[in-house]
Structures are given as C-alpha cells and as structure tokens.
Amino acid sequence: MVAGLVVFKLLRGVRQLELHRLILALIIFSLLSMAFLAYYVSNSPKIKDPPPLPFSDCDGGGGMQLGVSTGAADSETGGQRSPLFLPGRQGRLQEVKTIDTSRTEPVVLVFVESIYSQLGQEIIAILESSRFHYRTEIAPAKGDIPSLTEHNRGRYALIIYENVLKYVNLDAWNRDLLDKYCAEYGVGVIGFFKATENSLHSAQLKGFPLFLHSHLRLRDYRINPSAPLLYITKPNQVEQGSLPGDDWTIFLSNHSTYEPVLLATFKSSDPLAHSGPGPLQALYATVVQDLGLHDGIQRVLFGNNLNYWLHKLVFVDAIGYLTGKRLCLALDRHILVDVDDIFVGKEGTRMKVSDVEALLNTQNKLRALVPNFTFNLGFSGKFYHTGTDEEDQGDDMLLRHRTDFWWFPHMWSHMQPHLFHNVSVLAEQMKLNRIFAQEHGIPTDMGYAVAPHHSGVYPVHAQLYEAWKAVWVIKVTSTEEYPHLRPARYRRGFIHNGIKVLPRQTCGLFTHTIFYNEYPGGSKELDKSIRGGELFLTVLLNPISIFMTHLSNYGNDRLGLYTFESLVKFVQCWTNLRLQTLPPVQLAEKYFQIFPEERNPLWQNPCHDKRHKDIWSKEKTCDRLPKFLIIGPQKTGTTALHSFLNLHPAITGSFPSATTFEEIQFFGGANYDQGIDWYMEFFPFPSNVSADVMFEKSANYFDSEVAPKRAAALLPRAKILAVLINPSDRAYSWYQHQRAHQDPAALNNTFHAVVTASPSASKALLVLQKRCLYPGAYASHLERWLQYYQPSQLHIVDGALLRSNPVLVMEGIQRFLGVTPVFNYTQALMYDDGKGFWCQRVEGARSKCLGKSKGRKYPEMSSESRAFLAEYYRDHNMELVRLLNRLGQPLPSWLHQQLQSTR
C-alpha cells in the first residue's frame, strides 16, 4: 500500500512537470509566431486599395467630390452642377467709366488692421506671389492718411482695406481727400467686411446705397457671368454644398452701380432664409462690384475674408480689373513636371510595368488638355535594376519608352555635389551617368540637370557648374533653395556662369508620400491643395512652374498621376488659364523674358540658413567674410584710412587685387557675378574667429545703386564706414585724378568747363562731369544705405579731421567697431613734412607713406569754380545736416564751418 502511494505521487509529479513544460512550449511558440507574423506583415507588399481616381471633368468624383451635397436643395438639382445664367445688364455697363491708369505708379496701398492680422498677411502674400509692388499702412482710426501724390502723379494704382469699415468711417477730411484722389486718378478700392460678434445683423454701409446682412450660413456658391471684372475666373461652375462658417455677409441694393460677382443661397436652417427679402432659393451677393455710377469710384467689396479659395481667385481678378490690367498676369501658364530619382529608391517603392503603363496613359490624356505635356525624368544610372523583379521590369519598360519622355541627369550615385571639392572627380561621376545614358539610348541633349537635394546649385558650388558645362553642356537647372525654401512665394531665378537657374516648386509629394490614405494630415489635405489650395495658387500666381516629384509618387498609389490630372482639370474647370509645357531650355528663355530683372543673383549669407549651410561645402566658412566695410566715396582719404586700420593688431584687411589693388570692388560691379567663393578668397582664415576683425575697402560702393542691397544680403550685420570731405574738394580731386590717368576729357577741358558742361556736351565730358559731381550728393547716397542698414551700423568719418588729426579719428573708429585691444595710434603714426600728411612710423623715427599717387600737389581750385560748386551743393549739404541730426551723428568739421559761414 505504501509502495503504491509512492508510485502514484511520483507519476503525478512527472505529469505536472510535463504540463509545465508543455505550457512553456506553447508560450514560446506563440511569441515566435507573433514575431514572425509581424516581420512578414512589415516586409511583405501591402494589400492596398486601388489608386484613387483623378477628378472627373468639372463634376467632382475620384478622391473627393467637388461639393458636399446635403439637404432638400440638392434634391431639386439632382446633385448636379448646372451653369448659372443671370440677366445681363449690358445697357448700363456701357456707362462704366474707363479706368485711366497712366497717371499712377503701379503700386498698391494696403491698409491693414495690424502687422499680425491674418487677412492682411493673406493680401500681402498674394501681392508678393504676383510680384506686385505694395506699401502697407496701419488703417488709421483717426489722423491723416499717407501722402497720395508726388509731383502731380499718383503714388498708388489701387487701395485695399482689410476692414472696409475703416474706409467708410474715415473722418470727413481724409475721406474727401481719398475719394477725390481715387476719382481724379482713376484709382479703385477693394474692401473686406468680416462679421464679428459685435457686428449688427443688418445695416446700411455708411454713405452708400448698399445694405449688409451678416452672420449668415450660406450654400451653393455661384459666379455671375455678367460681372465685368472676371478675367481669369471662369463663370460656368457652381460650387455646391455648405460654405464654411456662419459669419457670411450678403449685400443688397437697388442701385444700378452694383453688380454681383459671387452669389449664394441661404441654408434652409438659417432664420433669414424664411424671413428674408426673397424665397429660399433666391441668390444673394457675397461679393459685389461697384461700377462707379454712384460717385465715380469703382470698388469691389467682399462679404468675408480670403479663407475661401474662390475669394482668392476673384481677388486676383479684382486687382487686375481695377488697375486696368497693369497689375495682372497674362493667361498663359507654363508647367513642367520633373520626376526625380528614376531608378533610385528602395524595394517596394519603385515603379512596376503597370505603373509605367499608367504614366504613359496619363501623359497622353494630359497632352489633350496641356499642349506638349511631357513628364521630365531625372535618372541616376547606378541604381538601375536594384529593385524587385517586378520593379526591374518597370525599369526596362521605362527604357523601352524612353523616347516618349524627356530625360535629365542626376549624379551617377545620387551623391550631393557639394561633397566633391575637385572638378575632375565630380566630372568623372557625371561621365559614368552619361555612359549609362548612351548605352541605354537615353537622350542626353536636353541641356537640363538637377542636383540631388539641390546641393551645389545654391549656395553656389563653383565646381558643380564647371563640371555640368564640361560633361553635359548644361544650360538650365532648377532649385527650390534660392533665395530660401520658405516662404515659397519668394523663390526666384538667376543666371550664374552661363547656366540659367529657375525656381522649383514643391507640390506636396515627397519620397515618403506614396499612399493616398496615408497622406500627412489625411487625403483631404492633398485634395484641398489641389482644389483651390496651395498647389492651385502656385499655378494661378506663377506664369512658370517647375514641380518637383519623385519616382515613388508614380508607383504605389500613383499620387503623382492623381495630383496633376486632378489639378489640370480643376484649373480648366474654374479658370480661363491656358496651360502648356515647354522643354527646359525654352522654358528658361521664356522665364527671363518675363522676369529680366532676375537675371542677376543676390548672394545671401549661407550661414544664416540652416538648409543652406547643410548643402554648402564643409571646406568653406562664413568666418572669411568681412565684419565691416569702408564704402568711400572716392578721393576722400579712404586709402589712408585703410592703411591706418591695417596697423591694428586685431584688424585684417583683404588681400590685394591684381587689377584693383587694395580694393575688391565686389558689390558694385561685374566682380559680383563671380560669386561669394571668389569673394572669400580675398580674406584669410581667421586665427581667432571671435577676436579677429576683417574688412574691405572699395570706395565705389558709396554711390552705387546696387551695392547697399547686395552688401546687406551677404553681410547684414556688417558695420559701414563712410569718409566725407567737402564735396567741392572731392570733385576737384577726382578731376585731377583723371588728369593724372590721362583721361582725354580731363586733359582737354578745364575743371570749370567740366562741372558746368551742358547736357548737349560730348558723352565723355558728361561721364567725367557725373563722376565729379554725383558722389558728392552725400545725403541721398547715405539714405540708400540706410534702407538696408540700421543707423547704429553706420559711422561717418570726418575726412578733414582724418587728414589733420588721424589719432583722434582712429580712437572714435575703434570705439565704433568695438575692437580690442585699443591700439595706440599716437605711437604708430607721424606727420611727414615732405608729403604733407600723416604716415606710418617705422624704425628710426622714419615714416612709411602711401605711394606717389597719393597726396599729389596741384593748383588751387579757381574761385569761380568754388563759387559754382558751393551753390550746386548747397541743398545737398543741408540735406546732409538734417540727416546727421536725425541720426544723432556729429557734423563733420568742414560742414560745421560751412554752416557758420552762411549765417
């Protein structure tokens, strides 16, 4: 019995141990199964929905309906869009006064509520995107409006009020002044009324036969085809569904001066729909055009802000109409769709045969809508056949249809060009891509290339431009980085080293945006961009748009095809824009015909933009840029100042130039085209970045039209030194300088003949006269510099005092620059009796002076010439007095003496 019990316990223990092991085995098995399943799911092709269908022709569909239809009103129309035909008013439209824009400058005056107001910023964004000049003012509740005329010419072609109530409630004096200006100069007004919680539900607009009804909920937006301002806007569409918000305003009037532009109906749930002035389905104007029949002034009034996309479209038309098409782009729009990274991309993201077939099919459909439309494919040959078997077949199909597309090269291995510091090595990489293209029959004569990540295009990597020209004979490229990525409306083109650089636009499609339902923010964000949002506005406001897309956008859900087919159809449904495509070289020629002012670049400081610094060579440093400039003018003692500053142990001047000696002359002339790499070669690598202060002196910067803007773009924190002497003495010194350099005009004419020459004199004589007289208008030139630099960055050096007491002047300059240690110029300088000016003291109490060309002795200026110049510069000098007093800077000794002598 006891033995049996022992056996039983032993067996039960074995069974429990086996059960525990079994449970443990099951747990391990489950965990391994889950891990395997997770790996399989994450690495297997996704079972995805079919790609979204593009918008159908002007009736919604595909990824998003053009209008959300709800309620009984939709059942009456069957949910369909139907053209709206309103009774024409052609009889009275003939009475509209023709706008005469010849007496105004093409500038818009914008009255905003504050510099931070959203609507004000949206207005300015559209003006800037269209490249229209404007001036903003805070709308005055009381007080004077800015001056509207100058020399019997209007300063503004259009007035915009962010809040139209600020316009109608102007005090009688300013309102009368503004209205008289608008009537006399043919200037129109655009105003916005956005209802707030304090707005009355119904009111008459002060001074106008126009009534406002606010706080309304509306639906089914329509465009009045009879509105005269329509130009870009196509009036045959109805945007069905509820308008966003419950703060809409409608305009009512019986006066013939008002023409509706946009109209809507009440939502059935709105109380005014049942108690208002008409039946439920009556149309009410939310945007009206005042034809000027009431008071001779044409206006456009909006019953909301610019949040709704159709308001932006009509706003652009209103600007064009009220300025007589002076501020208006033509209807032509050129678009080019680049497909970057062909053959590049990890497995599972590339194009298959069916994707290439879809690409060809969509291209053919788009060619029926956009003449010459062709996808432009950018390739890196190293990655050919590096996908799955299906994707490699897609690569082959692209090459079989290579002549159906345009092609452009990336780098062979998709490396960033700024990482290559040797032109030869960079060129070898390009040659590998060219060999690949030749072996596979890819056309290589487009003259267009794009650098991976836009590296080397801007900021300029000179080696890239040289290699492009040597290997590919590149004539055109594009980048999204000039002058900065954001805001996109500031992107511009430029020409460097013979290569035209065009602005490139993003379209919301990046390498990781490959599935419609996984689009950042949801698919509705992509559709919103297409339907009147950012992508639509890019086409609307830019005559030429190059869009960046990627290979992965044409596989998977084919978002590239969906986006551009939808965009083209939406643009053609709602606008009269004429879309077309040109090859890159022709497109670049067209671009610079439209924007010739963009041919010359404006170099920025790469270290002030993190993106630019990331795509700039690590061998370059902004520490080689100067911290202050001596800007001139010429013949005022700038060379002496340059030599004195170089004596300071913490101050280093630029290396000399082989052609312009101690001057670089970068910002004011042709050297600027060389780029900042060339400029920085004139400066050493500082041994102590925080303590070393580098500078350059170019005396022709002072009166240059372009130097201040260029200098401020590259050196916004630099300090500026200007040396001023009596402008009459400066003019005479320049004349003698030119005689010494054998200028025939100076040799053959007396100084008095030069400065008093008539406009009919010879060209050579007039050129000399200008160089004698023009730089002496000191105040006007300093004002130009002060447009780009703060007064605290400017120091005026008394040129007469620099000559007589340089130690005192140098002490003031050291304080202004904040350099340490303070250098004792008393021991460094000495007066040279033979030369007649101060020079550097060297060993043995000897002096080291400037060259023979400095300190020349020549006859005194005639009293006749001095009297003429004193009168010529009288007003200029008084302007200088006022300017220096405003800046809080002391008057130079010579100017102070002149003031005393005239009292």
Which residues are known catalytic residues?
635
Asked if 628 and 718 touch (Cβ cutoff 8 Å), the reply is: yes
d(CA 680, CA 693): 14
Contact 591, 80 (CB under 8 A): no
- Prior bond of 277 cis (ω within 30°): no
Three-state secondary structure readout of 343-358: CCCCCCCCCCHHHHHH
Q: Do 669 and 735 meet the contact criterion of CB atoms below 8 Å apart?
A: no
DSSP percent split of the chain into helix, strand, coil, nearest 5: 40, 15, 40
Nearest-CA neighbor of 308 among 241, 227, 252, 260? 241
Q: Are 304 and 311 spatial neighbours (Cβ–Cβ below 8 Å)?
A: yes
Helices and strands in the chain: count of H runs, count of E runs: 31, 30
Give the closest residue to 591 by CA, choosing from 504, 532, 533: 504
Q: How far is CA 470 from CA 424, 428, 454, 466, 664, in A?
A: 10, 11, 19, 6, 29
CB 355 within 8 A of CB 363: no
Element (H, E) at 723: strand 719-724
Nearest to 797 by CA among 814, 777, 774: 814
Q: Hey, is 647 helix, strand or coil?
A: coil
CB 694 within 8 A of CB 654: yes
Amino acid at 690: S
3 state DSSP class of 261 = strand
- Give the DSSP letter of residue 498: T
Alpha carbons 248 and 312: distance in angstroms, whole number: 16
CA–CA dist 727, 877 (Å, integer): 9
Distance CA 340, CA 668 (A): 38
Alpha helices in 44-78 (DSSP H): 72-77
Per the CB < 8 A criterion, the answer to whether 119 and 162 are in contact is yes
Q: What is the DSSP letter of 890?
A: P
Length of the chain equals 903
**Residue 390 identity (one-letter amino acid):** E
* Residue 327: count of CB within 10 angstroms of its CB: 23
Q: What is the dihedral of CA 556, 412, 402, 479, to 10 degrees?
A: 70
Token pair recorded at residue 73 = 């009103």
Inter-residue contact 594 to 602 (CB < 8 Å): no
* Residue type present at position 353: V
Distances (CA, A) of 101 to 74, 149, 184, 229, 297: 45, 14, 10, 16, 13
Q: Is 670 exposed, middle or buried (0-12, 13-18, 19+ CB in 10 A)?
A: exposed
Burial of 654 (0-12, 13-18, 19+ CB in 10 A): buried
Nearest to 540 by CA among 130, 9, 218: 130
In which residue are the tokens 């009111």 written? 203
Separation of alpha carbons 901 and 903, rounded Å? 6
Distance CA 17, CA 471 (A): 77
Q: Comparing C-alpha atoms, which of 106, 164, 104, 105 is closest to residue 130?
A: 106
